[in-house]
Amino acid sequence: MITCNDFAERLDLYLDHRLARDEQLSVDRHLHDCDACSALAGRHQERQVILRTAVTDVVAAVDVSGLWGAVHRAIEHDVPAKRVRAWWVPLRDWLRGAGGWTAPAWLTPLRLTGWAAAAVAAIVFVAFGLRAPGTPRVQVAERQPAVSMSKPGSQLHNVRVDSLQASEGHTVATWMQPHTGAQIIWVADADAAAGR
């Protein structure tokens, strides 16, 4: 007859089926009569099954089809082993290592690609958006030279003149049109500038 302590000492051998036949029979009898030891043995056996099946599941999900090819290349050319990895794996690993942040396993290639595309679209949008307002100045000035040159008097009432140069016989003034941003260069002879 064995005790609970005896069983605890033999637990590993029991789980690994390494007990001698007579010992095995004694343990079986004890487990039949002792609920606590029977529950203990059951929990260990359940844990064994969980570990085995969990690892098996993980391994079953791994694609090993490229393994022989990589091994063959290495032994054929006598070169060190090189990682056969998807393009996104180094990026994911880098993200995991950055700042000690551990990236979750759900960072899949599809999600990574989606985020990369969104980031590129945002950069393009911002780059073009910033350039757009600055360019029309010259274009407007080129498109509307007649306005600025032919009606200088009416333009001068509401604008700030940037420069005004008078020389013998004519005057040159420059200013910016407030609404369009066009640079206006006004050239007039001396009499027109004096309002005569």
Q: How far is the CB of 79 from another protein (least distance, A)?
A: 9
CA distance 85 to 92: 11
Concatenated DSSP letters for 76-87?
Answer: HHT--------T
Alpha carbon separation from 117 to 110, 123, 125, 143 (Å, rounded): 11, 10, 12, 38
Nearer to another protein, 34 or 95 (CB): 95
Q: What are phi and psi of 186, to 5 degrees?
A: -110, 125
Q: How far is the CB of 41 from another protein (least distance, A)?
A: 11
CA distance 40 to 38: 5
Nearer to another protein, 108 or 139 (CB): 108
Nearer to another protein, 67 or 161 (CB): 67
Q: How far is the CB of 24 from another protein (least distance, A)?
A: 17
Q: How far is the CB of 106 from another protein (least distance, A)?
A: 7
Nearer to another protein, 71 or 185 (CB): 71
CA distance 69 to 82: 11
Residues at the interface with another protein (CB under 8 A) = 12, 15-16, 18, 43-44, 46-48, 50-62, 64, 67-68, 70-72, 74-76, 81, 83-85, 89, 93, 96-97, 102-106
Q: How far is the CB of 179 from another protein (least distance, A)?
A: 58
Nearer to another protein, 106 or 128 (CB): 106
CA distance 25 to 28: 5
